[in-house]
Amino acid sequence: MRHFLSVDDVTGDELLALLDRADELKAERAARHRAGSSLVGDQLQGRSVALVFEKPSLRTRASFEVGVHELGGKALPMWDGEVGLGRREAVADVGAVLGRYVHAIVIRTFGQDDLEELAAAAGVPVVNALTDHEHPCQALADLQTVREHHGELAGRTLTYVGDGNNVAHSLLLAGAKVGLSVRIAHPEGYAPAPDVVAAAQRHAGASGAEVVVTTDPRAAVDGADAVYTDVWASMGQESEAAERAAKFADFQVTPQLMAHAADGAVFLHCLPAHRGEEVAAEVMASPAARVFDQAENRLHAQKALLATLLG
């Protein structure tokens, strides 16, 4: 891998190899913690990684900054006011400059086109830490979480309920590549991008998975091994919040909806969660919820990604 801009930058086998490495790093960290030894390794010894944030961040910043440190590298967080991507300085120029200083760039931005332009100029690996089109690092952690609970991904079903957004896009692509069937239940007018669905269907044809896009949340959840949701209005969509709340009202993940999932199904959410909106508070507090395991796995999956890209 040169970059990780999209789930489509890796094959199904490469995704599984990343998950295997994430599991190994997670186990190693736990063993070091139990032994009271240092959590810092040497995989990125002498390496620096720029973390460029155009959007607010909790999990992404913390998991990447801690992850780089624990791999023995140096993280350089940079906020939008400092960089001014495409405003203070041309996107390609930012990539070219940072590429002279650091060994990799992790960027959380808006446009996928900006991400790709920066990567083309950087000359070092670039990681998509979230754009409006995809959230591939989140999908890595999601697959790791489902696999931890259910054992294998192939033959299982994950249902995503809500907006066909960046998270839905990456889940479609990642699941289809590894044999995990993905169903998307969305309100009218909020379907995932047709080109992403078409790509996922092609991958599913090779892996034996199934891709379903529907406006019926109950049918989508029926028999699912994992049920996933996200906020109804993402960053940059705050002005649409009231309109979306009305249109998404029937797509809340409730205990009643979860009852249609398979026995032992898990509930996932990429966070932050708005209890009483996209998910009922009872579901967030239920034994089925694996949202904090999922958040933790951002650390391990991203460490595996960086170690692979820079190894």
Cα four-point dihedral sign 131, 134, 138, 140: negative
Catalytic residues: 108, 135, 138, 230, 270, 298
Name the H helices within the chain: 12-35, 59-70, 80-83, 91-101, 112-122, 136-150, 166-178, 194-207, 217-221, 241-247, 255-258, 281-284, 291-310
69 is written with which tokens? 């440190």
Taken in order of first residue, the domains within the chain and their CATH numbers are 7-134+298-310 (3.40.50.1370), 138-294 (3.40.50.1370)
Could you give the strand order of the β-sheet that contains 157-161, starting from the edge strand earlier in sequence? 211-214, 181-185, 157-161, 226-229, 266-269
pLDDT for 294 equals 98
- Residue 110 contacts residue 55 (beta carbons within 8 Å): yes
- Which secondary structure element, helix H or strand E, spans residue 183, and what is its range? strand 181-185
Q: What does pLDDT average to in each consecutive run of 10 residues of the chain (311 residues)?
A: 94 98 98 96 97 93 98 95 88 96 97 97 98 98 98 97 98 98 98 98 98 98 98 82 93 98 98 97 98 98 98 86
State residue 186 phi and psi, 5-degree precision. -135, 155
CA distance 229 to 239: 20
Question: What's this model's pTM, rounded to 2 decimal places?
Answer: 0.96
